[in-house]
Amino acid sequence: SWRTHILDLSAADRWEDAASFFQKQIDRISSARMDPEPSLHSCLAACLRRAGQIERAEAQDQIVDTLALGNDAIEIANGYAYGGDYPRAAEWWARAARQNEPGSQLFTIALKLHSTMLVEQGKWKEFAAVSEVNAQRTASVESNNFAPLAGLRLRLQADLGRALSILKTDRTKAVAM
């Protein structure tokens, strides 16, 4: 399938070929008088950036920003992540968390991806806040499948993020926390 093909191209570090593939997809869809998904443009931007074509990548970033709608944010982030552009992917996962309904599955997915990136970036205060939201949402009355062990893990994540955010300034309090 085409998905396997682009994964093979990325694994082989053939970013120009991957960019060409995405450009052809965008052109094919556009020639059919349809609008390509913004995520195709984010994939193209990430590939172009990896291929060293920064100006062309920035042009695609602008297209993504113009076309993006609320529910597109996760797919756009995944497109950037495909090309290893995790800083941009992180911005879009955060945007997806902000734009989706807290009870929706998209919100849950976006929150998990966003919190993972916050850990990678060492943004402990933000990680604590996101984990707190996730813990409260999971423990809420609206949550049908509340697993106590999963709830404890989320509670621990929130406390851990809070402790790590003060570790440099108050080690004793952080360890106690």
Write out the DSSP string of 4-39: HHHHHHHHTT-HHHHHHHHHHHHHHHHHTT-PPPHH
Global pTM exceeds 0.85: no
Give the Cα separation of 135 and 111 in Å (integer). Answer: 11
**What is the reported pLDDT for 47?**
95
**What is the reported pLDDT for 144?**
60
User: Which two tokens mark 56?
Assistant: 């062309």
Give the SS3 label for residue 83.
coil
Give the Cα separation of 125 and 118 in Å (integer). Answer: 9
Closest CA to 36 of 51, 26, 50, 48: 26
**What is the reported pLDDT for 70?**
62
**What is the reported pLDDT for 100?**
84
Give the Cα separation of 17 and 136 in Å (integer). Answer: 45
Give the Cα separation of 81 and 89 in Å (integer). Answer: 5
Under 8 Å between Cβ of 142 and 165: no
**What is the reported pLDDT for 177?**
87
The ranges of the chain with pLDDT < 50 are none
